[in-house]
Amino acid sequence: DAGVIQSPRHEVTEMGQEVTLRCKPISGHDYLFWYRQTMMRGLELLIYFNNNVPIDDSGMPEDRFSAKMPNASFSNLKIQPSEPRDSAVYFCASSPGQGPNTGELFFGEGSRLTVL
């Protein structure tokens, strides 16, 4: 398996622009997670899905952030409008299940976002 695939790897945009980050989870994994990593706040869980349904979005910082999972093989995270403080590395991860036997997270390589 190719692992979790994220695109783009790097994105540079100007404040106010819409940003879309994409993720393809590992086939057969029922859970998908979006994390954000910054120097100040470390790795933060933003939202996660189970079988394409958002379960917990309490980590989404503002209404400018939205995430969808239209099918089992794709999710996107949108920021509209983007602001400089959104600059971070955004990671997508998937897992086959939850709990100690199936809950291991598999992370993608991340999307590094810079908002000027």
Partner 1 sequence: DAKTTQPPSMDCAEGRAANLPCNHSTISGNEYVYWYRQIHSQGPQYIIHGLKNNETNEMASLIITEDRKSSTLILPHATLRDTAVYYCIVSGPNTGNQFYFGTGTSLTVIP
Interacting residue ranges for partner 1, rule: CB under 8 A: 4, 35, 42-43, 45, 48, 56, 91, 93, 98-100, 103-110
Task: Give CA 112 to chain center in angstroms.
Answer: 11
Looking at beta carbons only, is 81 or 112 nearer to partner 1?
112
Tokens 């920021």 belong to 79
Looking at beta carbons only, is 15 or 105 nearer to partner 1?
105
Looking at beta carbons only, is 71 or 101 nearer to partner 1?
101
The CA-to-CA distance between both ends of the chain, in Å, stands at 36
